Each structure stands twice: as structure tokens, then as C-alpha cells.
Amino acid sequence: MKDVQNLEDTRGIPIDRVGVSDLRYPIVVLDQENQEQHSVANIALSVDLPHHFKGTHMSRFVEVLNRHHGDMTMRTIPVILAELQERLEAEQTHIDVSFPYFLIKKAPVTQSEGLVDYDCCFSGEMNGTGSDFSLEVIVPVTSLCPCSKEISSYGAHNQRSRVAIKVRTRKKPDGTWDFVWIEELIRVAEHSASAPLYSLLKRPDEKFVTEQAYDKPVFVEDLVRGVATELMADERIVWFRVRSVNEESIHNHNAFAEIRWSR
């Protein structure tokens, strides 16, 4: 059977990234409370393709993924990237693993438990000079406007905000990266907000979070500065990007702010 992918291409045009995307796959990630958590990821795997190759070997991406049975951590991802380099004879390999992470949240007064979902993404890259890993968590929170509260006789406009925190951690002497839990980044975002979000609130809880938000008004600028302050003080973090988008309740548009920083 002819191997078309192995034919030569004569146009002299290398391809930066080629591979598979939107591959839905069951994964297992580390969970601070329960050791591990099962989820379903949307995965993209790719490699670079030198100009003289007609095509990459797409089936091998899935073969490599299958060998790891969905075990997705900052320790297994470099191994997957190295295997992709070898199986696909590639210089550069990339992986993006996007998945929902669920946290049991206890309501502030009744302690009623409910699950809140957080969009997360592990991204990894490996090339001839080294490797890179980043973790991103998008944390929905409440923000209540300081200006609205100050100028109004009563009430203040408030809304849901999505705080996206993407971090890179310090590389240790053994070549692995310092570890940061998803839960830690969720807490950092919630510390900067007017109030956290919950899935289950009884009336005493609703009263609590309503007054909690009113007592802690924050601009979108305060949200990102609060996160930045905490991450800058964390020696494990060597780079971060924090971006908050407020789905403004008084406008038909959003407010946003972003800080990028490296140590």
C-alpha cells in the first residue's frame, strides 16, 4: 500500500504546525482533595513538518496518546511530547489539553455542597532547545463596581467576571517543573473578587454572598492587580498572564483588564 505521506514535496515550504485537533478524550488529572479526577478533554497534538515531507503521520498522534491512557499531568506531558518527537521524527511538538475541572464548593453559611466547573488548559511544547509547560484556569467570580456603589444612594451594579490565570512555573534541577494545584489558582482569583461563585446556595447563603460582594467592591483593574500581587509573591511562578472579563450588567459590552509578567 503506497505511503503518500512519505512522498517528497518539492515546493520548499516547511509547515509550522500540523496534526490533530478537537480530539475528545477521557483523561485523569491530579486532584488536590481526591488524588485524581476524571474528565473529558478536547486535545490538539501537532508537530512541525520540514519542507521536503508531503505529510505527517496522523495516526501516530493517536497511537502515542493511547499509550498514556489519558493520564494528563505536568509530569506525563513532557513524556508524551518526547514520544511525539520520536514517532513523528519532528523537531517541535505541541499539545493543548482543554478540560472542565470540578470542585466541591461548600456554601458559606449552610455548608451545603455543590459542584462548580472551571475551564482549564494544559499546554506543552518541546523542541530542540528544551520544553515548556503552562497551566491556565478560568475562574468565574462576582465583581461589584466601586464607582456604582459610591455614587448610588442604594445598590451597586455587579456581574459575573471570568478571571483567566495562565502560569508557568520554575524548572527544578531534575528538569521537571514546580507544581501548582488548579485549586490554588482558583483561590487566588476568588481572593481578588467581590465574592466567589457557588452552585448551591440556600437563602442564608444568598444573603451572605450578596452582602459579602457589597462589602468588597472591585474594578476589573482591582481583580487583575489582586491576582498579580499574589502570583508575584509565589516563588514557584516564573511567568503569568491574568485577564479578567467583566460581563457588565449595565452595558451590552464587557470590561476587561490584563497583566502579563515574568520573573
Residues that bind ligand GTP (CB under 6 A): 3, 5, 55-60
> Are the C-beta atoms of 255 and 247 separated by less than 8 Å?
no
The set of cell numbers assigned to 141 is 467570580
| Smallest distance, ligand GTP to C-beta of residue 3, A | 5
Pick the closer one to ligand GTP by CB: 18 or 238.
18
Q: Closer to ligand GTP at the Cβ: 59 or 152?
A: 59
CB neighbour class for 246 (10 Å; exposed up to 12, middle 13-18, buried from 19) = buried
**Minimal distance, residue 1 CB to ligand GTP, in Å:** 8
Q: In terms of Cα–Cα distance, which of 16, 21, 20, 93 is closest to 49? A: 16
* Shortest Cβ 7–ligand GTP spacing (Å): 11
Minimum CB distance to ligand GTP smaller for 89 or for 206? 89
Q: Which is nearer to ligand GTP, 61 or 133 (by Cβ)?
A: 61
Q: How far is the CB of 77 from ligand GTP (least distance, A)?
A: 22
Residue (67 or 172) nearer to ligand GTP, CB: 67
Which of residues 59 and 176 has its CB atom nearest to ligand GTP in the complex? 59
Are 74 and 176 in contact by the 8 Å Cβ rule? The answer is yes
Give the 3-state secondary structure of 16-51: EEEEEEEEEEEEEEEECCCEEEEEEEEEEEEEEECC
The set of cell numbers assigned to 60 is 501516530
Q: How far is the CB of 59 from ligand GTP (least distance, A)?
A: 3
Distance CA 156, CA 161 (A): 15
d(CA 94, CA 16): 11
Q: How far is the CB of 99 from ligand GTP (least distance, A)?
A: 23
